[in-house]
Amino acid sequence: MQAAIENENEMLLQVDDLKVDYQMEGAVGRAVDGVSFALRKGECIGLVGESGSGKSTIAKAILKLLPSNGALAGGRVILKGRDISHFTEEEMDAIRWAEISLVPQSAMNALNPVQRISSQMVETFLAHQAKADSRKTLLDKCQQLFEMVGLSRNRIFDYPHQFSGGMRQRATIAMAIALEPSVVIADEPTTALDVIMQAQIINLLKSLSEDKGVSIILITHDISIVAQICQRVGVMYAGRLVESGDILKVFNNPFHPYTMGLKAAFPTIKELKKTLISIPGSPPLLTKRLEGCCFSDRCPFSIEQCQRVIPHTVTIREDHYVACHRIEYAERFRKEIIDIFGTRVRGQS
Amino acid sequence: MIEVKDLQKSFAVKETFFSAFTSLLKKKEKRIRAVNGISFSIHAGEIMGVAGESGCGKTTTAMLLLGLYRPSGGKVLFEGMDISSLKGTELRYFRRKAQLIFQDPYESLNPRFTVYRTIEEPLIVNRLRRKSERREKIMKAMEKAKLMPLEAFCDKYPHELSGGERQRVCIARAIVLEPVLLIADEATSMLDVSIRAGILEIIKELTEEMKMATLYISHDMSLLGSICDKIGIMYAGEIVEIGRSEDIIQSPLHPYTRALIEAVPVPEFRRAKLKLKAIAGEPPDLVNLPRGCSFRLRCERAIKACRTSRPKLFEVKQGHFVACHQVGD
Amino acid sequence: MGVWKRNLKLILHNPMGMFGVATLSTFALLAIFAPLIMPYDPMKCQYIDGELARLQPPSMHFLLGTTHFGRDVLSQVIIGSRVALIVGSLAAIFLTFIGTNIGLVAGYCGGRVDSLLMRLTDIAFGIPFIPFAFLLIALVGPSIWNIIIVISFLMWRTTARVIRSQVLSLKERPFITAAKVSGASHLRIMYVHILPNVLPMSFLYIALGIAWSTLSEASLSFLGIGDPRMISWGQMLYYAFITGSARTAWWYVLPPGICIALFVISAFMVGQAYEEVVNPRLRKRNS
C-alpha cells in the first residue's frame, strides 16, 4: 500500500484503497477490499490469485465496466494525476482504449463474429480519433499492428471464426494497443490457450512491454506466467492484497503464508520430484464479514490474533509489502509449510 | 491390463448446404481423422499421461477407451477382450470397470442430485439392490476420496460445494464401482492452484491402492511429469513419442515433445527475463493431413524423408519409443 | 424437498406472485366450499311475490342481480369457479405431461425420432384452435372432459418445443456422459437424470397452461359448445349474449367477465413470478 505514496511523477496508474461491493441475493459481498498498488511507466505488474480473489474485479473497476450489481464502494483510481474513479460514462469512453485498454480472457467474446476484423479495428480508430485520417491510411495502420503482433497483413480481412484461438488473442492484443494506450490490462490472456500458443502470447506481451514500453497489468492465476513477464507482483486473496512488491523479493522470500503456499503448489518441469503442497479448505464466502485476516481459516500458523484483528500492510524492505501478523516467523514458516501440507504426488522415490 | 492396438477413429464432416454440393462433385466423403493408429498399454497401478494440443485426439482416445465411441479401426483390449465386441453381461461388467473423471467438476455433477445420491447412482444402475450394502460402499468411496466428515457431505448439493470438493465427489463416484481403468481428462485444470496437488495425490494413491490403470490427459507437461509413470505425446491423432516420464521430460527426442516442454513457463524468478521457445504455426487440418510426417510443417529440422514417408514409432532404448526420421539414424 | 419450499418462498416474495397465489387460492376455496357459500341454488329460478325474478339488478336480496331466467348471478359465479379450476388444472397437467414427454424423447433421441415428433409439433402449431375444437366437440359431443381433452390435445406444442431445447443442451453436459459411463440405460438417463432438470420448466408451463386452458374453455363455452350440464363463466356470458341481456344487464356480464380476467391474469402472474425462480438472470435484474 505504501507503494502509492512513492514518487508521484513516474506513477502512471495508482489504485488507492479500492473497494468494490456486489449485491448478491439480498446480501452485500465485498469482492475487493482496500487494494492499493501503483504502476510505473513501462512496467509490468502481475496480479495473482485464485478464482474469486477479486483480481478480475479490479480490472473491471478500473475501466468502470462492473456488472450492474457491482459498485465502487470506496477508493480512488488515479491515472496520470487525475482521479478517474468518479468519471461519467462519456468521460470514460474517452479513456477506454485510448488510455487504458483491455485484453480479455475470451477473445471470441471481444470480437464481433459477423464483422471483418479490419472493419472492427478501423471503427475503433474512428470512434476515438477526431482527426479524419482516410480509411486507407487507417487500414494501413491496422495492418502494421497486425504485423507487430505476428499476424500476416492479409489476414486482417478475415472474420474472427477463421482464426484459431491463439490468432484471435493476437488480434485482440493488436486492437488493445491500436490507440497506443498508456496501460494495457490483460485479464487471464492465456487461460483458454494451449501451452505452445500460451508461450507465443507470453513472448508477445513481453516484447510489447520491453521493446515498445507498454505498461501492463497482467491478471492471472499462474505465477509462472508472472515470472516470465512481470517486474512487480501483487498476491491477492479473498479481495485483499496480502503481499506485493518486487517479484524477486516476493517470490524468493515470501513473508505471507499464502504466497508461500501458492509458490509451493506449482509443479515445475525443472524439478519433477519437488514436493507439491495443497492447502485444504476454500476461500471465505464473499458475503461473510471478515473480522480478522482473510487467510486465517486456512492458515496453519494462524493464532488467536489472526482471527480477530485485520493485519496492517507493513513494509518488509524496499518495495516489499505484507499484510500478516506473524512476519517475524516467516523464515520458519517457509520450511514448515511444506512439511504440513506436502503431498506425495510423486511417490517417495 | 488395458491395451490399445492401432486404434483409429474418424468422424464424417457435418455437411452444410454448400459443402454437400461440392462433395457431390468430388464424390469423396470428407472425414476428420481424429485418432490415427495409436498403440499403447497401461498396467495395473500405473498412471499414463497423454499430452498434446487441443484437437490432437486426446479426448477422442478417452472416449474410445471407455467404449463411448466405436473405433473406425484397431481395437481396445480390456482384460484380453475386445471392448467393441462386448454384449450383455460382459458389456455391463466392462462399463462398471472403466470410469471417468471430467475436467469441469461443476458440469459433471447432476445439479439435482445430492452427494450421496450421485455416488449411489452407479450402484443402482449396476443392480446392487441391498441398501445397507450400497451405503457401506458409498461410505468407503467417500472416505477414499477424502470427503470427510462423511455426514457433512452426504446431503449437500453440488452448488453448495467448492471446486475441490466437487472434484472429490466425482472421484468417489468413479471409484465406487471399483474400476480397473480410470480416465482423468484434465481433472485439475479448472481447480484453484492451492488445492490441485491434493486432488492429484488422491488419484495417485488410489491408482496404487486399488491397482487401477489410470490415463491422465493434460496439456501441462510439468503436471504430467510430476504424477505419471509414463507419458505419451500426441500430435494430429498420432503418438509421436512415448516412454517413462523421466525420459520424456529430461531427454525428449521428438522435436514436438521438445517444443511442448520448452513452451512451459517455469516459476523461476529473475530480473532478466528469458524468452520462451515457442514454435510457430498451428496443428494441421485433420481432414487433409499433410503427406509424410504430420509435424514437418512446424519442424525446424525437417528433411526430405519427412515429406515423403510417415515416420513409424521405434524403440530408442528400453521402453522409450519415438516416431521421427531424425532420431537414431 | 427444500428446493420447492425455497421456490414457493421466492414466488411469495414477489408482489405479483403473491397476488396471483392469493387470488387463485381464493378461487380454489370458493370452488371447494361452493355449496356452503352460495346463497341460492344456481340453477333454480327465483321468484319474487310469485313472479319470476327476471333480470333483477343487484339488491340486498340478490347481491349481483339475476339472470334472464331468474337465476342468482352470484351463485352462478361462485359455482363457475369449479369449471375454471377443473378445466384449468387438469388440462394444464395433461398438456404439460404430453409436452414434456414429447420434448424429452425428441430432444434426447435426436435424429429421425426428433424430426418426426417435431414435424408433429409443427402440425399442432398449424391447427387453429377454435375450428378444431368445434369439429371435435361436434364429433364427440360437448362435455367438460371432451373440452379438457381438446385443449390438452393441441396446447402441448409450446411445452414440447421449450422442453426439447432444454434437453438438447442438457444432454451434452458432462454429467450425462458420467451417467452413460456408469452404465445407465437411455430410459434411465432420460427420466432419472434429465427429467428432474427440466421439471422446473415444466412447472412453469403448468402455470401458464392453467391460464391458457381456462381462457380456451371460456371461449368455447361463450361460443356455445361448453358442457351444458355445468355452469361456467364463459357459458354465463354466452347466455347473456344470446338472450340479448348483455346490452342492458351489466350485472349479468361484468362478474363472469371480471372473474375470467382475474383468474387468467393471476395464473400468468404466478407463472411470471415462477419464471424468475427458474431463470435467475431475471431475478437479478429485478432486485
* CATH number of domain containing C178: 1.10.3720.10
Q: Which helix (H) or strand (E) holds C150?
A: helix C144-170
Whether C4 shows a pLDDT value over 80: the answer reads: no
Q: Flag whether C157 is in a domain.
A: yes
Most B CBs within 10 A among C6, C7, C170, C175, hence the mutation to make, goes to C175
Chain C residues in contact with A69 by the CB 8 A cut-off are: 284
| Choice between A62 and A166, residue whose per-residue pLDDT is larger | A62
Closest-CA distance, B233 to chain C, in angstroms, reads: 25
* Weakest-pLDDT range from A164-168, A234-238, C220-224: A164-168
Strands B213-217 and B181-185: parallel
* Weakest-pLDDT range from A231-235, B228-232, C269-273: C269-273
How far, in Å, CA of C224 to CA of C142, rounded?
9
Whether C285 shows a pLDDT value over 70: the answer reads: no
* Weakest-pLDDT range from A74-83, A198-207, C6-15, C222-231: C6-15
pLDDT of residue A230: 94
Q: Flag whether C238 is in a domain.
A: yes
At A125-168, the pLDDT tens digits run 888 775 667 788 888 888 988 988 888 888 889 888 888 888 88
Q: From the CB of residue C59, how many other CB atoms can be counted at a distance below 10 Å?
A: 13
Q: Flag whether B113 is in a domain.
A: yes
pLDDT of residue B174: 94
Query: Which domain, by its residues, includes C268?
Result: 18-286
Q: Flag whether B30 is in a domain.
A: yes
pLDDT of residue A2: 46
Window 22-81 of A, Cβ < 8 Å to B: 50-51
Confidence band, pLDDT 50/70/90 cuts, at residue C281 = low
Q: Flag whether B247 is in a domain.
A: yes
Q: Which of B298, B257, B295 is nearest to B280 (CA)?
A: B298
Tell me whether 0.90 is exceeded by the ipTM: no
In total, how many domains does chain B have?
1
Q: Flag whether B308 is in a domain.
A: no
pLDDT of residue A281: 84
Query: Cβ of A152 under 8 Å from any chain B Cβ?
Result: no
pLDDT of residue C161: 94
Structural domain boundaries of chain A?
2-99+181-341, 114-180
Q: What is the mean pLDDT of residues A108-132?
A: 81
Question: In this complex, do A25 and C285 lie within 8 Å of one another by their Cβ atoms?
Answer: no
pLDDT of residue A237: 94
pLDDT of residue C286: 39
Whether A107 shows a pLDDT value over 80: the answer reads: no
Whether A4 shows a pLDDT value over 50: the answer reads: no
Question: In this complex, do B96 and C177 lie within 8 Å of one another by their Cβ atoms?
Answer: no
Q: What is the mean pLDDT of residues B206-229?
A: 92
Give CA torsion, residues A210, A215, A217, A221, to 10 deg. 0
Q: Which of A299, A184, A314 is nearest to A241 (CA)?
A: A314
pLDDT of residue A1: 43
Confidence band, pLDDT 50/70/90 cuts, at residue C257 = very high
Instruction: List the chains bordering chain B where 3 or more Cβ pairs fall under 8 Å.
Output: A, C
| Choice between C74 and B272, residue whose per-residue pLDDT is larger | C74
pLDDT of residue B251: 92
Window 211-230 of B, Cβ < 8 Å to A: 219-223, 225-227
pLDDT of residue C3: 65
Q: Flag whether C120 is in a domain.
A: yes
How far, in Å, CA of B226 to CA of B264, rounded?
14
Whether A9 shows a pLDDT value over 60: the answer reads: no
Whether B52 shows a pLDDT value over 50: the answer reads: yes
The answer regarding whether domain A2-99+181-341 maps to CATH 3.30.465.10 reads no
Confidence band, pLDDT 50/70/90 cuts, at residue A5 = very low
Q: Flag whether C7 is in a domain.
A: no
pLDDT of residue B135: 94
Confidence band, pLDDT 50/70/90 cuts, at residue B55 = confident
Q: Flag whether B37 is in a domain.
A: yes
C-beta separation of B221 from B227 below 8 A: no
Confidence band, pLDDT 50/70/90 cuts, at residue C60 = confident
How far, in Å, CA of A52 to CA of C204, rounded?
33
Per the prediction, chain B carries an average pLDDT of: 89
Q: Which of B329, B262, B259, B251 is nearest to B297 (CA)?
A: B259
pLDDT of residue B302: 85
Query: Cβ of C285 under 8 Å from any chain A Cβ?
Result: yes
Chain C residues in contact with B99 by the CB 8 A cut-off are: 181-182
Whether C7 shows a pLDDT value over 90: the answer reads: no
pLDDT of residue A47: 96
Question: In this complex, do B276 and A268 lie within 8 Å of one another by their Cβ atoms?
Answer: no
Q: Flag whether C12 is in a domain.
A: no
Whether A85 shows a pLDDT value over 70: the answer reads: yes
At C157-185, the pLDDT tens digits run 999 999 999 999 999 999 999 999 888 99
Whether B23 shows a pLDDT value over 60: the answer reads: no
SS (H, E, C) B146-195: CCCCHHHHHCCCHHHCCHHHHHHHHHHHHHCCCCCEEEEECCCCCCCHHH
Q: Which of B261, B309, B55 is nearest to B324 (CA)?
A: B309
Q: Give CA separation, B263 vs A151, A200, A215, A244, B297, in Å.
A: 20, 8, 24, 27, 18
Q: What is the mean pLDDT of residues C22-26?
A: 94
Whether C287 shows a pLDDT value over 60: the answer reads: no
| Choice between B18 and B215, residue whose per-residue pLDDT is larger | B215
Nearest to B53 among A194, A206, A222 (CB): A194
Q: Flag whether B13 is in a domain.
A: yes
Query: Which domain, by its residues, includes B217?
Result: 2-256
How far, in Å, CA of C178 to CA of C176, rounded?
5
Q: What is the mean pLDDT of residues A219-242?
A: 93
Domain of residue B77, CATH code: 3.40.50.300
Question: In this complex, do B267 and A224 lie within 8 Å of one another by their Cβ atoms?
Answer: yes
Q: Flag whether B292 is in a domain.
A: no
Question: In this complex, do A26 and C287 lie within 8 Å of one another by their Cβ atoms?
Answer: yes
In total, how many domains does chain C have?
1
Query: Cβ of B70 under 8 Å from any chain A Cβ?
Result: no
